[in-house]
Amino acid sequence: MLTRKQHELLMFIDRHLRDTGFSPSFEEMKAALALKSKSGIHRLITALEERGFLRRRAHRARALEVIRLPENLAPRAKNAARAPEAPLGPNVIRGPFGTHAPTRPAPEAEDNASVTLPLFGRIAAGVPIEALRDNGASVAVPASLLGTGEHYALEVAGDSMVDAGILDGDTVIIHRAETAENGAIVVALVDENEVTLKRIRRRGNSIALEPANPRHETRIFGPDRVKVQGRLVGLLRRY
């Protein structure tokens, strides 16, 4: 699952390679995506590399190679005509959360009962990635993991929270909330566009989103750029 910008960049690079035989420049990519700086393009390319869509050839300028396209796109011949691309869906977690509030079992059944929670797609524990609501998807969760309030589940993509015991492919249980204590692991909405799972730290007038993997960097934002959408309360893993 890709963010809207990641998808746009991947398709632009693929079209450019097919039309010209070489990859576009960073300036061309920045203009095509209407971004203000090349640093945004660097982040998008890194994210596409990590997810196995792109490869950079070492020691060569403008040497990007498309490894694969999103699974919902049929393979094309090199010079085949391209069908119009379908519009992308929303790129933040949307409600209606209230209609999915779990029903609590009777106290005597609490230990063995399970509750069905809505599964709202995949969330990045690496470079932020959009979490799209997956209509109809759900997951059964032990009732003992839940407290009061509304909850939902997300599948983790990436490795930036491994030192907190959160691995790629895990399912995290999130208590819907708009605030969280300093140091909590939260679902954070960045710039009204992308969501990510990180530890939140408030430092004066800034907000830091910290990974739990030394290979990933802490990102710092102004207070108006980050909104808490939930707090981690549990984790499920299949072996």
Q: How does strand 185-190 pair with strand 226-236?
A: antiparallel
**What's at 37, amino acid-wise?**
S
Cα separation, 73 vs 136, whole angstroms: 22
In terms of residues, how long is the chain? 239
**What's at 135, amino acid-wise?**
N
The SS3 call for residue 68 is coil
Q: Residue 37 catalytic? A: no
Q: Which of 209, 212, 230, 236 is nearest to 221 (CA)?
A: 209
| Count of Cβ atoms closer than 10 Å to residue 32 Cβ | 17
> Which one is catalytic: 5, 23, 30, 198?
198
- Spell out the long-range contacts of 199-208 with Cβ–Cβ below 8 A and sequence spacing 24 or more: 199/164, 200/226, 200/228
Q: Residue 198 catalytic? A: yes
Q: Please, which residues bridge with residue 186 across strands?
A: 198, 231
Residue 69 near residue 2 (C-beta atoms within 8 A): no
* Non-local CB neighbours of 3 within 8 Å, separated by 6+ positions: 47, 91, 128, 129, 130, 193, 194
> Which one is catalytic: 23, 30, 160, 227?
160
**What's at 66, amino acid-wise?**
V
The residues assigned a catalytic role are: 160, 198
